[in-house]
Structure 1
Amino acid sequence: MFAITSSQATQDVQNSTIDPVTCSVIHGALENITIEMGHKLMRMAHSSIIRESEDFGAAIIDAVGNGLAESSQSTPLQSGPLPGYIRGMHRILAERGETLCPGDVIMHNDPYSGASHVPDVAFIVPIFWNDELVGYSATTAHHLDIGALSPGSCGIVDALDAYAEGLQFKAIKVVEGGRRNDMIWHVLRDNIRSSELVVGDMEAQIAASRIGAARVLDLIAQYDLNTFRAACTTTMDQAERLMRSAIAKLPDGVYHASTAIDGYLDDPERRELPLVVTLTVDGDSLHVDLEGTAPQVSDRPINMPFEGTVDVAIWLTIRSILLDTAVYGHIPVNVGLIRPISISAPLGCIVNPIFPAPTIARFAPGNQLADTVMKALAQAVPKQVSAGIGNLKVVAFSGLTQSVHWVHMEIFEGSYGGRHNMDGMDAVDTLYANTRNNPIEDIESHVPLRVRRYELREQAIGAGTFRGGLGAVREFEFLSDGGVSVEGEGHRYRPWGFDGGDDGWPAEMSVTYQGSEPIELPSKASYMPVKTGTRFTMVGPAGGGYGDPRRRDPQRVMDDVLDGLISRECAAKDFAVVVTDDLTLDEEATAALRAGTSVS
């Protein structure tokens, strides 16, 4: 059994007295520093996955690995793990007997030492004040190739072990004492496809991390080190009290939920794998136990790093539900929020794997784990959750033009389930993903792909008093020979309906070769070479419904019919709403249908 407890995430610091105004100003400055880091990284990045989709993280972390602030525009699955990157780096450096010096820049991506997965490479700049290490400025981002067995850094769903997933960087000094280690950069360029793109993104990360470090030093110079530390300690304590207060409002008890992931639907030994969550609320603390979850899949990369993916999925979900910004306003994001929460999981299961079990495709099952945590919390706070979410896909399109590789990574949206007094959001990234969609204009101007369809999915809805969000449909056509690989979830199981709502709809995916009919694909597809003219179609899932569909406002059902999202037949069957041939709402017939009577 392996566990994360609050003591692992707490710095032993004497809390100094500081006035609340100064504390707030310093914390606001830290948040603005991370936001500036994020914007600078986006502006300097070469790839669309950072520039447009914002699949990156930026954070300021103290000297022992406590998160102080993170970039609000970044992805939770990128910023959230950064304190774990620091702790993993500390451990590796100590084992090697190495120390940090001013001017160092460390590259790190080890999934068994804090990183989320291999393509999410962090660049860490230690911050020294008068030769004393006072913290770190760090960025992480998803890189479009990391030297894995097939092009792209996602969809490597047939990786046999961690070594097949790409280059591993375990606390490597790419800059030492201000001197660039050119040998490391030569290795990178020689072993990564699209090396100009990837190395350009890495250099942008280093620049953004250095900007963050410089801004922190300016802040310390303005207030002095003791005041800075007192503000950080006080802000962490305040966040802890906020989370403890929210947990204390929950009824004490044990809340259990389970679900399953597709796994590999075309493999009877690696399919339909259970995820089990047991939440125990005890006063102002909460424990999450993952006992009962499926054993690790030692030769397929759907295992999830316990620190870097599993912890972030759980913390993010609890924080979002219990401290909803629509109710609480701005919430300071730092280590204090996670101190009241502990997590345990058996060693050797898919949520706590043993090296060298591969983890590169941890994204989609991790999102399903977050959804299962929400399903358990729904028993305690039914008005604060959504029904089941529709999960995402990550698709790597790639090709080779005159010995030059091109790669495009598409994060294909899911959808949210219905919520108390609100419909689910349509065609968005869910839970810890939170990336933006990639504009068609950007895709078609950079890579040889044509987006032939991009629209909402029709006639598939999670019916409820508040319906689930709709999925999207995207169809890509290859304008030159290339290849594609996919990691995804949600083809086997329908997103769960809540409080009488109907389940949502699963996702679909197909490939159409020239002169052939569409060929259905499972949610995970290893690298497939394709010819010019091949079309690849993704149909997104629909989130679950919330509440009895027969209690939905008939006019809202009518609006969905008029928008072409559902048919008249669907309105009658799923919502008991009668729409006439001339597309008007028949209120009398609707009332009769809902009452179980007929209209003469």
Structure 2
Amino acid sequence: MSTPADPTAEPTADLTAEILRNALCVAAEEASIVVVRSAYSTFIVEGADAAAAILDAAGRLVAHSASTALIQCASLRSALPYVLEAFPLTAMAPGEVFLLNDVYQGGIHANDLLIFRPVFVNGAPAYFTGTLIHVADLSGLSAGGMASDAADVLLEGVQLPPVRIATADGLVDDLVRVLAANSRTPEKLVGDLRALIAGANVAARRLEEIIDAHTAEGLARGVDGYLTHTERRIRAELAALPEGTYMGEYGLDDGRRIRVAVTIEAGPPGAAPSGAHVVVDFDGTDEQAASPVNSGFSQTLGGVMYALRCFVDPSLPMNEGCFVPVEVRMPRGSLVNCTWPYPGGGRWATVAAAEEAIFAALTRALPERGVAASGILQGFSISGTARPWLHMSFDLGGMGASAERDGPDATGALFGGGRNIVPQVEPIEARLPLRVEEVSLIPDSGGAGRHRGGLGTRTVLRMLEDAQVDTRGDRLRRPPSGAAGGAAGRAGGYYRERADGAREPLDAKATRQPLRAGEALVVETSGGGGYGDPAERVPEALRKDLADGRVTPRERT
């Protein structure tokens, strides 16, 4: 006769797992806060743009900070295997810290530095803490790594394969001096680098405290259970989607196109939902270009995960369990998987187009959950000419409307990271020789439809010293398209505003364009596309749009 199960066993196990999960997430969160508070670059400090994660020695993503975007998760997860290839676990020593930025080895681009610190258990590395930020400057044609005319990756900045940046004795000074010598703002670069390491060290200490409290075996069981539970949940979500293969595509302003086939499979009969999985195949996507419009494989992977998560339970935690049932096929040498020496710094347009292509494919599978195209991140950097200073930022366009609701304003389809999407005006003006004259929504910029696209934004930055600007945008010549009869959003743009108020357009990918003292950079982002026939918009929604100033009387439909 079997012994009855203890009715308290399962709740206790669940409680312990939840305590461990939260402890790991808090450790990553504290790391990201340490990086922000220790960093030197204005964009990091004021935008709170720092990613942090905990991974295990098998390269699995375990937990991450709240400010870590999906593309950053994908990069940290994708880069660690290359670190382990260059520095085997058996050769690592306590206190070592590793650094890379190589886009072909899981990195993002030259200015995004990834830090990994091993955490030892019983004398061997069992976990890694990772941090990631966009440092102020690391060489390249333009300050801040924004050169839109870089024809190869070497023109984007210093390339770093996995290297040892610190030991138990401190920083590897020779390497730090080389990096500083290749930066227009060496003090900020070294300060940011120290901040990254400080964050990874704090997360490592917290992880060691968790191990002391729960034992190494207890933590390992908790991690396995947490990841398995997430995998089970996402497979159940995928099993609820209609099986089949669905096609989608989306184009860039330069005419290049991303094509995708999304295949949803429930698994063998009787195995669902445990066998459900999805294959995302970019076969047919245009070849890579000799300009920074390409995406490294880790960034495309992040875009895929974002797009798929829009069709499953949003409460799903983001960890290795989400990646397991997703197979992504990215042809080497294509826009979505560039190879040396093709540049990958301007990946945003391609990653966002990959997302839109997946949205289009899954809209065919689930027309009741369809969505129109969105305005995307429009990056820019302003740098001093008489003395070294740098302001980097990005503004987001309106999100496309869906079959169910209007698109959110100033949100875009892919969030770039950080907690503050619009940094506070006062600290920027206190740190830099410029004045922020306007940050506003643009009326009538959202595409008309049964549901209206989200509005784009206008930002006006007045120069107090001579400077130069680099821009990097897309969906400006070809604004975000509507869906199901909805209208396209209003195209954005970049402009130079003279002291007398005259305005002239800058190219969407301008490089090192002069801005004289008294002139302003005007950044306008694209509105999201509308969804459905505009004639079907309910009168109450039209009246509210007018009352809120989102549309003007002449554009009320």
Q: Is residue 2:283 matched to residue 1:291?
A: yes
Q: Is residue 2:311 matched to residue 1:321?
A: yes
One-letter code of the match for 1:193?
R
State the shift of 1:445 in Å. Answer: 1.3
Could you say which residue in structure 1 is the equivalent of 2:398? 415
Q: Which runs of 5+ in 1 are unaligned?
A: 1-17, 263-270, 326-330, 575-600
Q: Is residue 2:301 matched to residue 1:301?
A: no
Identity %: 29
One-letter code of the match for 1:520?
P
SS state of the match for residue 206, structure 1?
helix
Pick from 466, 471, 477: which aligns with 1:486? 471
Comparing 192-201 with 44-53, greater Cα deviation is found at: 44-53
Q: Is residue 2:302 matched to residue 1:312?
A: yes
SS state of the match for residue 69, structure 1?
strand
Specify whether residues 477 and 541 from structure 1 end up closer, same or farther in structure 2 by C-alpha distance, changes over 3 A only: same
Q: Is residue 2:14 matched to residue 1:20?
A: yes
Does the 8 Å CA contact 2:258/2:350 hold for their aligned counterparts? no
Q: Is residue 2:60 matched to residue 1:77?
A: no
> CA offsets per residue over residues 208-241 of structure 1, 9 Å max, x none?
1000011111111111111111111111111111
Does the 8 Å CA contact 1:317/1:431 hold for their aligned counterparts? no
State the shift of 1:39 in Å. Answer: 1.8
Q: Is residue 2:446 matched to residue 1:461?
A: yes
State the shift of 1:98 in Å. Answer: 8.8
Structural mapping, 1:333-412, within 5 Å: 333-401=318-386, 404-412=387-395
The root-mean-square deviation of aligned C-alpha atoms, in Å, is 1.9
Q: What is the count of residue pairs matched by the alignment?
A: 535
Pick from 26, 30, 44: which aligns with 1:36? 30
Could you say which residue in structure 2 is the equivalent of 1:183? 174
Structure-2 separation of matches of 1:478 and 1:300: 29
State the shift of 1:462 in Å. Answer: 0.9
State the shift of 1:279 in Å. Answer: 0.4
Q: Is residue 2:93 matched to residue 1:110?
A: no
Pick from 61, 67, 76: which aligns with 1:67? 61
Pick from 518, 521, 525: which aligns with 1:540? 525
Runs of 4 or more consecutive aligned structure 1 residues displaced over 4 Å after TM superposition: none
Does the 8 Å CA contact 2:336/2:350 hold for their aligned counterparts? no
One-letter code of the match for 1:41?
V
Q: Is residue 2:31 matched to residue 1:46?
A: no
One-letter code of the match for 1:66?
R
Q: Is residue 2:552 matched to residue 1:567?
A: yes
Structure-2 separation of matches of 1:261 and 1:481: 33
> CA offsets per residue over residues 90-122 of structure 1, 9 Å max, x none?
22335xx99321010111111111112221101
Structure-1 separation of matches of 2:110 and 2:554: 48
Q: Is residue 2:264 matched to residue 1:281?
A: yes
One-letter code of the match for 1:47?
S
Structure-2 separation of matches of 1:289 and 1:432: 23
Structure-1 separation of matches of 2:509 and 2:124: 48
One-letter code of the match for 2:84?
H
State the shift of 1:515 in Å. Answer: 5.6
SS state of the match for residue 120, structure 2?
strand
SS state of the match for residue 245, structure 1?
helix
Could you say which residue in structure 1 is the equivalent of 2:86? 92
One-letter code of the match for 1:300?
S
Structure-1 separation of matches of 2:374 and 2:441: 16
SS state of the match for residue 47, structure 2?
coil
Could you say which residue in structure 2 is the equivalent of 1:58? 52
One-letter code of the match for 1:45?
A
State the shift of 1:565 in Å. Answer: 2.7
State the shift of 1:533 in Å. Answer: 1.8
SS state of the match for residue 405, structure 1?
coil
Does the 8 Å CA contact 2:36/2:49 hold for their aligned counterparts? no
SS state of the match for residue 82, structure 2?
helix
State the shift of 1:383 in Å. Answer: 4.0
Structure-1 separation of matches of 2:18 and 2:211: 15
SS state of the match for residue 91, structure 2?
coil
Structure-2 separation of matches of 1:553 and 1:43: 48
Could you say which residue in structure 1 is the equivalent of 2:207? 216
Q: Is residue 2:136 matched to residue 1:144?
A: yes
Using structure 1 for the length normalisation, give the TM-score. Answer: 0.86
Could you say which residue in structure 1 is the equivalent of 2:148? 157
Does the 8 Å CA contact 2:444/2:455 hold for their aligned counterparts? no
State the shift of 1:166 in Å. Answer: 0.8
Does the 8 Å CA contact 1:416/1:426 hold for their aligned counterparts? yes
Could you say which residue in structure 1 is the equivalent of 2:271? none
Structure-2 separation of matches of 1:559 and 1:107: 51
Structure-1 separation of matches of 2:160 and 2:78: 15
One-letter code of the match for 2:156?
E
> CA offsets per residue over residues 185-218 of structure 1, 9 Å max, x none?
2112222111212221211111110000111111
Could you say which residue in structure 2 is the equivalent of 1:425? 408
Q: Is residue 2:428 matched to residue 1:443?
A: yes
Specify whether residues 108 and 434 from structure 1 end up closer, same or farther in structure 2 by C-alpha distance, changes over 3 A only: closer
Structural mapping, 1:193-212, within 5 Å: 193-212=184-203
Structural mapping, 1:192-271, within 5 Å: 192-262=183-253, 271=254
Could you say which residue in structure 1 is the equivalent of 2:8? none
Does the 8 Å CA contact 1:102/1:178 hold for their aligned counterparts? no
One-letter code of the match for 1:407?
L
Structure-2 separation of matches of 1:567 and 1:179: 60
SS state of the match for residue 467, structure 1?
coil
Structure-2 separation of matches of 1:457 and 1:412: 13
Q: Which runs of 5+ in 2 are unaligned?
A: 1-11, 267-275
Specify whether residues 334 and 546 from structure 1 end up closer, same or farther in structure 2 by C-alpha distance, changes over 3 A only: same
Structure-2 separation of matches of 1:507 and 1:222: 53
State the shift of 1:44 in Å. Answer: 1.9
State the shift of 1:332 in Å. Answer: 2.1
Does the 8 Å CA contact 1:54/1:74 hold for their aligned counterparts? no
Specify whether residues 445 and 428 from structure 1 end up closer, same or farther in structure 2 by C-alpha distance, changes over 3 A only: farther
Structure-1 separation of matches of 2:388 and 2:58: 40
Structure-2 separation of matches of 1:360 and 1:98: 34
One-letter code of the match for 1:397?
I
Does the 8 Å CA contact 1:368/1:391 hold for their aligned counterparts? no
Q: Is residue 2:516 matched to residue 1:498?
A: no
Comparing 478-487 with 145-154, greater Cα deviation is found at: 145-154
Structure-2 separation of matches of 1:508 and 1:115: 29
State the shift of 1:259 in Å. Answer: 1.2
Structure-1 separation of matches of 2:310 and 2:42: 27
SS state of the match for residue 323, structure 1?
coil
Structure-2 separation of matches of 1:505 and 1:359: 27
Specify whether residues 515 and 146 from structure 1 end up closer, same or farther in structure 2 by C-alpha distance, changes over 3 A only: same
Q: Is residue 2:437 matched to residue 1:452?
A: yes
